[in-house]
Structure 1
Amino acid sequence: MMDSDQGLSSVGLRKRTLKPLELRRTVERECAKTANGETTAEEEPLTPAARLFQLPSVNCCIIVAIGLKTEINIGEGIKWLEQTLFKHPRFTSKVVVDDKKGGEKRWVQTAIDLDYHIITPDLDPNMNSGDQFVEDYMLDMTKTPMDLSRPPWELHVLNVKTSDANSVIVFRIHHSAGDGASLMSFLLACTRQLSNPEALPTLPTMKKRMASSGSWGNWPFFFAIWWIFRLIWNTFVDVVLFVATVLFLKDTQTPIKGPPGVGRTPKRFVHLTVSLDDRKLVKNAMNMTINDVLLGVTQAGLSRYLNRRYCEDAKHGGATEKKNNLPKNIRLRSAVVFNLRPSAGIQDLADMMEKGSKVKWGNTIGYVVLPFNISLPNNPLDYIHQARAIIDRKKSSLEAICTLGLVLKTLGVKIAAALSLRALSNTTCLFSNVVGPKEEVSFLGHPVAYIAPSIYGLPHALTIHFQSYVNKMTICVAVDEGVVPDPHRLCDDFGESLKLIKNAAIERGLVKNGAY
């Protein structure tokens, strides 16, 4: 295995020289006229959420690894960027402080210097492990803060062969530039179908679970009253629990719970690709949603992993992985980020760069706190049933709107940041699920093998993302290695848990013809 320090020592020093890309013509096209007839670059004030992420205490970045099936042609990639990414004002704007308006921060368009934003390190073609190099490279990126005096994004071009790709693009952007939903959606809107290079990708349609008509079919008024009462009650309970989490309600100190300050430590990113058909089989066999299955798999995987860690840490004899080594009444919760925008099609997302687009850019998010059931039931399908009960209850709550949106509007950015960080610090991890294209796509003109998004800078030692793409699902894990020293084994536990749940559904006769 290659020595990580030696392999990364020259990455930041040796890169291909690229000429600055002047975008002043684009800026002038978007400029407003002053009273003297002069042109000035268009400005946009930072949203409250963007100002929150600009605070030193919330230095958070989104990072996406995109594996490609071919070696990257950087010249072709830059042409692709000019046609897509560079057309969006956010990627050609930097934050400027307006002293005349009391230090107000605004996005102001500027020229792009490719030497800073597109990094193409010279790599050793004979390196021992491409996978290890990419992991070490991304770990090293988390040690280097972004320069917020420039447009806050970078694209790293790694022409290195890994176990599941022939090259890797690593895209990093500061969270103040946009939330994960807008950034991932826009990246997907920059891709094109391989079978039709002029067509945007299509995303799977999300089928909503319909309430059974039953006796409610004849009593719509009473059903509406009950639904409103349940919404108000669940929201009240969730807000009270959120306040309690801010004040005193902490998760159990398990082996995956990070210590204070974990948000500022380097993170290692690993991923595992599994079959999407297994997830679909469980979903259809149990009449569940995708989120039900993924949450159930996450609970099962964390339970397997923690049981092993408690076994390894046990000081007394007799502890084995086959026994239940879990303490009773573990409180383990995850923060789950929700996109508060109305759902939009991929064409709307591609048009976000145009004025008047109905899909708004920025940070339009809230989050809820999901309790995870950490246990070892005899029936693996219990994880899915438990997940469904949790998600169904959270759907009848306005927690996502109250936890961040209302706090920002009523208490201000600094107070909202302090409350949010304290609440997140008292939970254990972050969980997210992103739906990807149904067909194979190209990015920067190159066919995509996988997409692995993640985030770092929040006060968690563990972040879990699920990303679907064609007939595959990528499980992405970001960890503090001082807390989770074996992230590959954790990924394997998620993959093994999905297989156990699928096999349980088959053994119990729940799989019918066409279950996929």
Structure 2
Amino acid sequence: MAVTEEISSPPLSPMSAAFASSSISILPVFKFEVPINEHSVIELLRNELVPFNDRLSSVLHTDKKSVQRWRKVDFNVKDLVVAPTFPSGLSPEEYDQHLHEYLSKIGTEVFPKDRPLWEVHIIKYPTTIGGGAVVFKLSHAIGDGYSLISLLMKGFQRADDPSLPLTFPNVSLRPKAVRTNGCGFTLKCFNTISDVGVMMLRGRCLKDHKTAVRSGKPQLHLEPIVVSTINLPLEDIRQVKAKVQGSVNDVITGVIHYAIHLYMFKKKEDLGGDRMTSMAMLNMRSLRSFDNINEMMKAGIWGNGSISLPTPIPTFVPEKHIDRDPLEFVVRAKKSMKRIRDSVLVQFTFPITKLLKRMKGAEGVAEFIYSTLNNTTTLITNVIGPNDKMAMAGYPISDFFYILTGVPQSIVFTVISYIGSLKVAVTMEKGFIDSQLFTLCMKEAFQKILQEACDKDCKGVRNPS
């Protein structure tokens, strides 16, 4: 590829530089109602998506001062589009399985350094809910979930009326102002010192215990994965949210923690005394006085504006398992999120990573992030998606989810909202976690939490799909 110019942009942020040194990628997966034409996808890429941001037509370049920047190159869009061949004559269920195995395969592949850090895979085979699929694979160095969602929304339309813009849930993003008295200030200082210390230890030596959901295997980011997806109705999520007076994040974190609890119990593993931690991704853009997601999308803030913060996963001794109130997991998740807000660790994280980059370079930051994830049990990341049914190049999208690959954990959860549901994708270490059993535990956890939120007399509790 011919180099054209180094785009006028600031140096990569510590987080983007760290992701450039890692193998973490984001894979949005779109399933379509009807078979999709490859030529239509290429034209969309060439005319709409690639021109939207210079990073999509650039490679990483280290300048004379050893600073990483983006450098534009000439390339053919067709070279970044792949149409894999699967066996013919299979059922839609079998093609779904091939799709998930294909996600595992491409998820462990490393991008060549001489071309832009993205590619598109067109699956020309029927699935259980449509006529084909398109998989985008993008390096996390390009941007985080909100950057990439804003990119994809640029080239997508509303399926019912392409002339109208996509809309997003009208949720408040601006943090509530909290008055802090003398005791509150002291608590914040104590929590911050404690949290910074624990964060540094997690990046070095403080490890979660090995359990039925954490193998602790070396080089886990290179291992094959199994992908499972679950749909949770937002209407039911809101019922639980209202019951505990929490947030959607509190509810989904509580459901995941309870599902892990159920899975370990069914695997007959001792639930007492284990140190288990989930890393919850927090979008730093929410601190920039945005009132809602529509404002954030219009602002077009690119890059990596998210950080991961630890949330303890509750564990109980076996004899007390049967007495657990399912809602307790949501309440504990809510308390953990509040505990994070009673600290200024969020504001300290970027200066710490910036200092670490100055001392040890981008590779040092990447090593610290990798070690932090490797030493914890799971990662939970979520993105707010559109209210409206989408279409790409005129083809209606029947389902949409995304996964993270290259993460050194045995189980990872990615969540996005789409037309009335939360789409939860679970990536699990193949051969270690029983994916079918865990999927059943996720559904059971949500049903029990919802039933408890409805005071055990709620009518019409729906099964997750």
Task: Note the C-alpha offset of 1:384.
Answer: 1.4
Matches within 5 A, 1:231-380: 231-257=188-214, 258-309=216-267, 311=268, 325-341=269-285, 342=288, 343=290, 358-375=299-316, 376=321, 377-380=323-326
Query: Partner of 1:181 in structure 2?
Result: 146
Q: Deviations over 1:22-43 (max 9, x none)?
A: 9x9xx8xxxxxxxxxxxx5634
Contact 2:265 2:271 in 1 (8 A): no
Task: Note the C-alpha offset of 1:86.
Answer: 1.3
Query: Partner of 1:388 in structure 2?
Result: 334
Matches within 5 A, 1:72-91: 72-87=36-51, 88-91=53-56
Query: Partner of 2:157 in structure 1?
Result: 192
Query: Partner of 2:453 in structure 1?
Result: 505
Matched position secondary structure for 2:439: helix
CA distance in 2 between counterparts of 1:448 and 1:402 reads 40
Unaligned runs of 5+ in 2: 460-465
Query: Partner of 1:406 in structure 2?
Result: 351
Matched position secondary structure for 2:141: helix
CA distance in 1 between counterparts of 2:382 and 2:153 reads 15
Contact 2:40 2:393 in 1 (8 A): yes
- Please say which of residues 433-442 and 149-158 is displaced more in the overlay: 433-442
Residue 228 and residue 182 in structure 1: after superposition, are their counterparts in 2 closer, same or farther (change >3 A)?
farther
Task: Note the C-alpha offset of 1:157.
Answer: 0.6
Q: Deviations over 1:162-217 (max 9, x none)?
A: 223321111101111112231133223432222220222111122479989xxxxx
Task: Note the C-alpha offset of 1:389.
Answer: 0.9
Query: Partner of 1:483 in structure 2?
Result: 432
Query: Partner of 2:12 in structure 1?
Result: 46
Q: Deviations over 1:96-147 (max 9, x none)?
A: 333xx14433211222323321112344441241111101111111242111
CA distance in 2 between counterparts of 1:52 and 1:211 reads 31
Residue 350 and residue 442 in structure 1: after superposition, are their counterparts in 2 closer, same or farther (change >3 A)?
farther
Matches within 5 A, 1:6-85: 40=5, 42-44=7-9, 45-55=11-21, 58-85=22-49
Structure 2 residue 378 is the aligned partner of structure 1 residue 429: yes
Contact 1:97 1:103 in 2 (8 A): yes
**Partner AA of 1:409 in structure 2:** K
**Partner AA of 1:264 in structure 2:** L
Contact 2:172 2:292 in 1 (8 A): no
One of 115, 119, 127 as aligned partner of 1:162: 127
One of 140, 151, 157 as aligned partner of 2:116: 151
Q: Deviations over 1:453-483 (max 9, x none)?
A: 1112122111111221112221101122132
**Partner AA of 1:63 in structure 2:** L
- Superposition RMSD on alpha carbons, in Å? 2.8
Aligned residues: 442
Residue 107 and residue 371 in structure 1: after superposition, are their counterparts in 2 closer, same or farther (change >3 A)?
same
Q: Deviations over 1:2-59 (max 9, x none)?
A: xxxxxxxxxxxxxxxxxx9x9x9xx8xxxxxxxxxxxx5634343332222222xx22
Please give the TM-score of this superposition, normalised by the length of structure 2.
0.87
Query: Equivalent pairs: percent with the same residue?
Result: 23
Q: Deviations over 1:350-399 (max 9, x none)?
A: 66xxxxxx543112222211111134343211111111111111122222
Contact 1:440 1:470 in 2 (8 A): yes
CA distance in 2 between counterparts of 1:232 and 1:384 reads 26
Matched position secondary structure for 1:84: helix
Residue 229 and residue 84 in structure 1: after superposition, are their counterparts in 2 closer, same or farther (change >3 A)?
farther
Query: Partner of 1:419 in structure 2?
Result: 368
Residue 256 and residue 93 in structure 1: after superposition, are their counterparts in 2 closer, same or farther (change >3 A)?
same
Rg comparison, structure with higher value: 1
Unaligned runs of 5+ in 1: 1-19, 28-39, 213-219, 312-324, 352-357, 512-516
- Please say which of residues 431-440 and 230-239 is displaced more in the overlay: 230-239
Contact 1:333 1:372 in 2 (8 A): yes
